[in-house]
Protein backbone atom coordinates (compact mmCIF):
# COMPACT_ATOMS: atom_id res chain seq x y z
CA UNK A 1 0.00 0.00 0.00
CA UNK A 2 1.41 3.36 -1.04
CA UNK A 3 1.40 6.14 1.51
CA UNK A 4 -0.29 9.40 0.70
CA UNK A 5 1.82 12.56 0.64
CA UNK A 6 1.29 14.97 3.50
CA UNK A 7 0.01 18.46 2.76
CA UNK A 8 2.37 21.37 3.20
CA UNK A 9 0.50 22.49 6.32
CA UNK A 10 0.74 18.98 7.82
CA UNK A 11 4.48 18.93 7.13
CA UNK A 12 5.00 22.41 8.62
CA UNK A 13 3.06 21.33 11.72
CA UNK A 14 5.20 18.19 12.12
CA UNK A 15 8.42 20.18 11.67
CA UNK A 16 7.57 22.33 14.70
CA UNK A 17 8.49 19.24 16.74
CA UNK A 18 11.65 18.47 14.76
CA UNK A 19 14.32 21.09 15.56
CA UNK A 20 16.49 22.05 12.62
CA UNK A 21 14.45 20.20 10.00
CA UNK A 22 12.92 22.23 7.18
CA UNK A 23 10.83 21.67 4.08
CA UNK A 24 12.80 22.14 0.88
CA UNK A 25 11.79 21.06 -2.64
CA UNK A 26 9.33 18.30 -1.66
CA UNK A 27 11.58 16.83 1.01
CA UNK A 28 12.46 17.46 4.61
CA UNK A 29 16.12 18.24 5.17
CA UNK A 30 18.58 18.74 7.98
CA UNK A 31 22.32 19.39 8.25
CA UNK A 32 24.32 17.79 11.06
CA UNK A 33 27.82 18.75 12.20
CA UNK A 34 30.04 16.46 14.25
CA UNK A 35 33.37 16.81 16.06
CA UNK A 36 35.31 14.92 13.38
CA UNK A 37 35.04 12.62 10.38
CA UNK A 38 34.91 9.38 12.40
CA UNK A 39 31.95 10.65 14.42
CA UNK A 40 30.13 11.61 11.21
CA UNK A 41 30.83 8.15 9.79
CA UNK A 42 29.54 6.38 12.89
CA UNK A 43 26.34 8.45 12.63
CA UNK A 44 26.02 7.43 8.97
CA UNK A 45 26.44 3.74 9.81
CA UNK A 46 23.71 4.00 12.46
CA UNK A 47 21.53 5.85 9.94
CA UNK A 48 22.13 3.20 7.28
CA UNK A 49 20.93 0.39 9.56
CA UNK A 50 17.80 2.33 10.53
CA UNK A 51 17.00 3.18 6.90
CA UNK A 52 17.53 -0.39 5.72
CA UNK A 53 15.29 -1.71 8.49
CA UNK A 54 12.54 0.60 7.21
CA UNK A 55 13.31 0.07 3.49
CA UNK A 56 13.74 3.83 3.31
CA UNK A 57 16.62 5.26 1.34
CA UNK A 58 17.25 8.97 1.89
CA UNK A 59 19.44 11.41 0.07
CA UNK A 60 22.68 11.71 2.05
CA UNK A 61 25.64 14.00 1.57
CA UNK A 62 28.81 13.83 3.66
CA UNK A 63 31.84 16.10 3.70
CA UNK A 64 34.35 15.55 6.49
CA UNK A 65 32.38 16.23 9.71
CA UNK A 66 29.13 17.33 8.08
CA UNK A 67 26.17 15.22 7.00
CA UNK A 68 23.11 16.47 5.14
CA UNK A 69 19.98 14.33 4.92
CA UNK A 70 16.96 14.73 2.64
CA UNK A 71 13.84 12.63 3.17
CA UNK A 72 10.91 11.95 0.89
CA UNK A 73 9.10 8.83 -0.24
CA UNK A 74 9.76 7.59 -3.78
CA UNK A 75 6.57 5.51 -3.88
CA UNK A 76 4.52 8.63 -3.07
CA UNK A 77 5.84 10.58 -6.05
CA UNK A 78 8.92 11.85 -4.19
CA UNK A 79 6.77 13.72 -1.69
CA UNK A 80 6.95 13.83 2.11
CA UNK A 81 4.89 11.19 3.92
CA UNK A 82 4.36 10.15 7.52
CA UNK A 83 7.18 7.61 7.04
CA UNK A 84 9.62 10.46 6.43
CA UNK A 85 8.44 12.25 9.56
CA UNK A 86 8.78 9.04 11.60
CA UNK A 87 12.32 8.47 10.34
CA UNK A 88 13.29 12.08 11.11
CA UNK A 89 11.97 11.64 14.66
CA UNK A 90 14.02 8.48 15.10
CA UNK A 91 17.12 10.18 13.69
CA UNK A 92 16.71 12.85 16.36
CA UNK A 93 16.83 10.16 19.03
CA UNK A 94 20.10 8.59 17.88
CA UNK A 95 21.97 11.58 16.52
CA UNK A 96 24.70 13.21 18.53
CA UNK A 97 26.20 16.59 17.83
CA UNK A 98 29.07 18.56 19.30
pLDDT at 1 over 60: no
CB 97 within 8 A of CB 32: yes
| CATH class, 8-94 region | alpha beta
What's the confidence (pLDDT) of residue 11? Answer: 98
Q: Mapping DSSP to helix (H, G, I), strand (E, B) and coil, where does residue 6 land?
A: coil
Catalytic residues: 52, 56-57, 74-75, 84
| Mean pLDDT, residues 50-70 taken together | 96
Q: Where are the domains of the chain?
A: 8-94
Lowest pLDDT segment from 1-5, 42-46, 52-56: 1-5
pLDDT at 97 over 60: no
Q: Which residues of 48-66 are buried (b: 16+ CB within 10 A; e: fewer)?
A: eebbeeeebebeeebeebe
Is the dihedral angle over the CA atoms 43, 44, 48, 51 positive or is it negative?
Answer: positive
What does the mean pLDDT of the chain come to?
93
How confident is residue 80, by pLDDT bands cut at 50, 70 and 90? very high
pLDDT at 83 over 70: yes
| Mean pLDDT, residues 66-88 taken together | 96
Amino acid sequence: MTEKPLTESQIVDELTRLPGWKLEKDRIVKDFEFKHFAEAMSFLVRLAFECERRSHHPEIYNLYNRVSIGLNTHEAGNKVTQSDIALAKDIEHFSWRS
